[in-house]
Amino acid sequence: MRSRRVCASFAAALLCGALALVGAEVEAATLEAARGPVVLTVAGAVSNTNRPAFSEAEDAFLNYHEKSFERAAEFDRAMLEGLGTVKAEIAFAGWPAPMVFEGPLLADVLAAAGAAGRDITIVALDGYGSEISAADLLAYEWIVGLKRDGRYLKIGQRGPLWVVYRRRDGKAPSEEDELRWPWAAFFIEVK
């Protein structure tokens, strides 16, 4: 498990504008290449990369979704788990039972990619996009769910990723919350 101090430091950095590095120099780094199937691509205003720029010929599915980029980081499951994982049980009135999600914090994924923007859009396989502001990133504990109830999410079972959050105020999630949780997520654009 990641220490709360690391997460708190990232949250403080967000508040201070670390994800809003307007005009600031960001030291670029190269991430290790994904060894398994890529389940997430983080593109746009990122400084840590491990893949070439968008190619219309090679990136047909991204092209279908009208996504292109110069810089991107790709992650396989092992890379995401290597960032540390948390578990969150979420009970939503529209579900038959509470679900336990497991995966890295979204803040840690963005930090690994060297995110240098303020807002993000999470895109699902069907093209659904959930826009998240820097303020919203701080307001909730966002989790990039790799697993639900102990099993990896699969395509057709709301996988490869289901991005959810745990409410810090302890209130039950609302329909509005649930609409903001993109399942079948595969792409994050940092703006």
**Does residue 20 carry a pLDDT above 90?**
no
Q: Is residue 105 part of a domain?
A: yes
Asked if 84 and 145 touch (Cβ cutoff 8 Å), the reply is no
Segments in the chain forming alpha helices (H): 4-15, 60-64, 77-82, 106-112, 134-139, 175-179
Does residue 182 lie within any of the structural domains?
yes
Environment class of residue 160 by beta-carbon count within 10 Å: exposed (0-12), middle (13-18) or buried (19+)?
A: buried
CATH code of residue 122 = 3.90.420.10
pLDDT of residue 167: 82
3-class secondary structure, 62: helix
How far is the C-alpha of 36 from the C-alpha of 54, rounded, in Å?
Answer: 20
Whether 123 is covered by a domain: the verdict is yes
Q: Is residue 61 part of a domain?
A: yes
- Domain residues for the domain of 183 are 4-18+33-190
Q: Is residue 23 part of a domain?
A: no
Three-class SS of residue 169?
Answer: coil
Confidence of residue 103 (pLDDT cuts 50, 70, 90): very high
Q: What is the pTM of this model?
A: 0.84
**Interval 120-173: pLDDT, tens:** 999 999 999 999 999 999 889 999 999 999 999 999 889 999 999 988 887 888
In a domain, 28, yes or no: no
Give me the number of domains the chain comprises. 1
- Tell me, what amino acid is at 145? G
- Ranking 28-42, 53-67, 71-85 by mean pLDDT, the lowest is 28-42
CA dihedral 3, 108, 76, 142 (to 10 degrees): 100
Identify whether 25 is part of a domain: no
Is the pLDDT at 12 greater than 70? The verdict is: no
Closest CA to 76 of 151, 170, 173, 152: 152
Residue of 93 and 23 predicted with greater confidence? 93
Q: Is residue 27 part of a domain?
A: no
